[in-house]
Structure 1
Amino acid sequence: MKLKPMLATTLLGLSLSAPAWAHTYVFDVILSGLAESPPNASPGSGVATVTFDMDLATLRLQTSFSGLTGTTTAAHIHCCTAAANAGNAGVATTTPSFPGFPTGVSAGSYDHTFDLTQASSYNAAFVTAQGGVANAMNALLAGAQNGKAYLNLHSNTFPGGEIRGFLQAVPEPSSYGLMGLGLALLAWRLRRA
């Protein structure tokens, strides 16, 4: 087997398998006052994981936070900013806050799974702007993938938001494994040639 057909076969295999990699999209979020727009001096901090499962059409939000100067009044995901990792956008998820999110506290945690096929998982204005629930789901995922969606925790001290963070994609381990296998096969073939 010659190198060019081997390389073509490897690249074809990788391109055909690419859609199978991505039914679940995971995003990490680091929350801080400095990430607010405009930034503030809140000592509060938090972390979150946002998982989109496109097979189930769900979004799971897991977050914990502490050290807020005020007490929580609302929390939601905003989308979509004009530029990646900068600016402000309207609320995309439920208003005035996530259902069951702990309010009136300066520290806490939250774990909830949203059904993205239900209009109740979104801000009605976001659904209308996107032309329907299916489009809202796709727009929210695209905003997250492009660095244009952020998680914001509001407090009575900072009504516009005390801490926030943009959703940052977590690379899928299987993608690296498949790419590594392809590169290893290519390297092996080059040694034999």
Structure 2
Amino acid sequence: MLTTLPKALTALALVSTALTAGATVQIAPAHVYTAQLSGASEDPPNASTATGSARVGFDIGTHTLTIDVTFSGLLGDSTNAHLHCCTALPGAGTAGPATSTPTLSGFPSGVRSGTYHHVFDTSLASTWNNGFINSHGGIAGAEQALLAALDNGQAYFNIHSSFAPGGEIRGFLQPVPEPGELAMLAVGLPFVLVLARRRRG
């Protein structure tokens, strides 16, 4: 009995540690945002029939910004691309580039279709537009401002081209629900359905 007690306590401690670690992962994962890119989303809208999608992952704790983009059918050759921030209103207006200028590192130029993947270190000044850093009091302030804008729909991804130098296709980035939030929604859904049925009855 006495020899099994320490083993049980050790097992309990391991389970507790695992649960705590799991909880930490669920509470503070990298934030993920997506956008559909189009000419109609530009300001002002243009006649481009091109399409695209952007996926941005931002982990402010590890200073990691991951950008994945696909696009096709541009009416002009691609010239540059940026993550823009921060508009005054969610989903509307324009803002200057938050990321490096004249374009994102390695973004395909002179093409009408393509893909892009890059992981940036947001603790480095080279990731940012200098004006964005300066207007937010340094790199830490720039990180916080971008995260807040992404969470509130005030940042967009923009692909510029020879057809539309100000931007041929863009899209405002929206948060993707975290796995924990989806699980909570799944758990609560049956109760919502029961309440709806009762009200109908």
Query: Would you say same fold, with TM above 0.5?
Result: yes
Q: CA deviation at 1:22?
A: 3.1
- Runs of 5+ consecutive residues of structure 1 not aligned to the other structure: 1-16, 185-193
- SS of the residue corresponding to residue 64 of structure 1 reads strand
Max radius of gyration: which structure?
Answer: 2
Partner of 1:5: none
CA offsets per residue over residues 7-33 of structure 1, 9 Å max, x none? xxxxxxxxxx79952331000110000
Given that 1:32 and 1:44 are in contact with CA atoms closer than 8 Å, whether structure 2 keeps it comes out as yes
- Runs of 5+ consecutive residues of structure 2 not aligned to the other structure: 1-22, 191-201
Report the Cα distance in structure 2 between the residues aligned to 1:21 and 1:128, rounded to whole angstroms. Answer: 31
- SS of the residue corresponding to residue 119 of structure 2 reads strand
Name which of 26, 34, 37 aligns with 2:40: 34
Partner of 2:60: 54
CA RMSD, 1 decimal: 2.0
* Pairing 1:3-82 to 2, within 5 Å after superposition: 21-82=27-88
CA offsets per residue over residues 167-188 of structure 1, 9 Å max, x none? 011001222324655899xxxx
- SS of the residue corresponding to residue 144 of structure 2 reads helix
Q: CA deviation at 1:45?
A: 0.7
Farther off after superposition, 57-66 or 171-180: 171-180
Partner of 2:171: 165
Question: What is the identity, as a one-letter code, of the residue corresponding to 1:129?
Answer: S
Name which of 102, 105, 109 aligns with 1:96: 102
Partner of 2:113: 107
- SS of the residue corresponding to residue 148 of structure 2 reads helix
Q: Is the alpha carbon distance of 1:106 and 1:65 closer, same or farther for their aligned partners in structure 2, counting shifts above 3 Å? A: same
CA offsets per residue over residues 23-77 of structure 1, 9 Å max, x none? 3100011000000000011011101110012331111000100000000000001
TM-score (norm 1): 0.82
Report the Cα distance in structure 1 between the residues aligned to 2:185 and 2:112, rounded to whole angstroms. Answer: 44
Q: Is the alpha carbon distance of 1:21 and 1:107 closer, same or farther for their aligned partners in structure 2, counting shifts above 3 Å? A: same
Q: Is the alpha carbon distance of 1:70 and 1:145 closer, same or farther for their aligned partners in structure 2, counting shifts above 3 Å? A: same
Question: What is the identity, as a one-letter code, of the residue corresponding to 1:79?
Answer: C
Question: What is the identity, as a one-letter code, of the residue corresponding to 1:90?
Answer: G
**May I ask how many residue pairs the two structures share in their alignment?**
169
Partner of 2:150: 144
